[in-house]
Each structure stands twice: as C-alpha cells, then as structure tokens.
Amino acid sequence: GAVVSQHPSRVICKSGTSVKIECRSLDFQATTMFWYRQFPKQSLMLMATSNEGSKATYEQGVEKDKFLINHASLTLSTLTVTSAHPEDSSFYICSARDRGTRPLLNTEAFFGQGTRLTVV
Amino acid sequence: GQQVMQIPQYQHVQEGEDFTTYCNSSTTLSNIQWYKQRPGGHPVFLIQLVKSGEVKKQKRLTFQFGEAKKNSSLHITATQTTDVGTYFCAGRGDAGNMLTFGGGTRLMVKP
C-alpha cells in the first residue's frame, strides 16, 4: 500500500510555543489530506481537511488560528499547533488520499504514524 | 451530521473464540472502511466495502455491508493473540469527502 510519513513521531514542548507536524505522501500524490486528533482510548476525531493549493476546511469547534494547516504541494501538508497549552497534548494523525483514485469510490485513506504531542 | 456508532466498546475473548464488532451509521453511506490500530500505533487500513450487501473475507476476518448501506460488521473467527487491538469502522456519506469514525472496539485476547 501507499506510504504516508509523519514527522515527528513524538514531541515535547513548553507551553506557549508552537509545534509543526509534517505529513508526507512518499509514493503518491495526495490532493487531499486529513488531520485527526485522538485522545487516549478514544476514536479519531477529524480536525480539518486539507486540499492542495487551497485553504483547509475545519470541523466545527476546531480553531483555525490555533491549528494552522498548510498544503503547499501534492506530497506535503503541515499542521502547526500555535501557542500550545497542556490541553493540546494529544495524538495527532494525518491521512492522505491518492490523487489517482476515483473520487468517492474505491478510495483509501493511508495514515501516517502519528505524532504524540506533550505540552508541559 | 453523520454519526457512526460502534459496539461493543470492549471485548475480552479467550484465544480461539470468535469476535464480532458492529457499526451503525445514522445516514446512508457510500462506502465503509475498517481499520485496525494496535496499542501505541496508527490505524492500518483493512478493507473497504462499497456495494449493498457486500461480504468480503480476509483469512479469518469477514466483513459485511448491510443491504441499506447503513451498517456493517467485522467478524473474526478463532481469534489469536495477534488480533489484539482496536478495530474502527469509518463511513463516508453519499455526498461526503470525509470519513466519520466509529468509537472503535477494543479487542483483548487471553492466551
């Protein structure tokens, strides 16, 4: 299957600082990438949908000024958590859809390895 | 909005026993996907179901998509300790681009 690389896998930062998480599709072009947040023992909650070359679409309740998403190329999307606070500590996971796949049918979401963010 | 419910939340089984997790959507789905997430890991795609009433098998795993395309199930025959993890269903609505994940079922297998 397709490979999605997410970096870093773990990060510890001080409260008030910003953290950037990268999501790369290594062997395919991803017009759409998704960013999820997962709290311990809970499901994945979609934060935003990132489309290459356009603004991200944020889910209700997700602050777009706090979680900055950039999808500048077909293989890279970044999520920046700005002015991080301890309550932002979580597992963040990206997924990417292969551009070559027919829309809405037979699509697969390939997940990155996730980033465990701890804000102290 | 679209909601996807998954039951049970947890399941303990003895190795060799069967296991089933059920997924129900509040709206009709264009397709449903199943993922497995090992403790500390990320979701790994297992399968996608698209057609009404579709049944697919992967070795000991059997996936079904309901006739109304609103529910789905994953059945594991003769569980093994390697089956341990959380199984998530994720549905995509008719007009949707995004996946909505169920809450997951955590499977624990006693050797």
pLDDT of residue A1 exceeding 70: no
Q: Does B25 touch chain A (CB under 8 A)?
A: no
Q: Give the residue on B whose Cα is nearest the Cα of A114.
A: B42
Q: Which residues of A touch B100 (CB under 8 A)?
A: 46
> Is the preceding omega at residue B43 within 30 degrees of 0, hence cis?
no
From the CA of A113, how many Å to the nearest CA of chain B? Answer: 5
Q: What is the mean pLDDT of residues B87-97?
A: 81
CA angle A25, A29, A32 (to 5 degrees): 85
Q: Does B105 touch chain A (CB under 8 A)?
A: no
DSSP H or E segment with residue B110: strand B105-110
| DSSP assignment letter at B30 | E
Question: In the predicted model, what is the mean pLDDT of chain A?
Answer: 88
Q: What is the pLDDT of residues A44-62, one digit of tens each?
A: 999 999 888 888 999 989 9
With cut-offs at 50, 70 and 90, classify the pLDDT of residue A103. Answer: very low
Q: What is the pLDDT of residues B8-59, one digit of tens each?
A: 999 999 999 999 999 999 999 999 999 999 988 888 889 999 999 999 999 9
Q: Which residues contact B75 (CB under 8 A, 6 or more apart)?
A: B18, B19, B20, B61, B62, B63, B64
Q: What is the pLDDT of residues A20-37, one digit of tens each?
A: 999 999 888 888 899 999
Q: What is the pLDDT of residues B66-91, one digit of tens each?
A: 999 999 999 999 999 999 999 999 99
Cα(A107)–Cα(A40) distance, rounded to whole angstroms? 27
Specify whether the CB–CB gap between B56 and B43 falls below 8 A: no
Cβ–Cβ of B98/A46 closer than 8 Å?
yes
Q: Which residues pair with B87 in a beta bridge?
A: B36, B105
Specify whether the CB–CB gap between A46 and A24 falls below 8 A: no
Q: Give the residue on A whose Cα is nearest the Cα of B96.
A: A104
Specify whether the CB–CB gap between A114 and A9 falls below 8 A: yes
Give me the pLDDT at residue A100, please.
62
With cut-offs at 50, 70 and 90, classify the pLDDT of residue B93. Answer: confident
- Chains A, B: CB contacts under 8 A, how many? 60
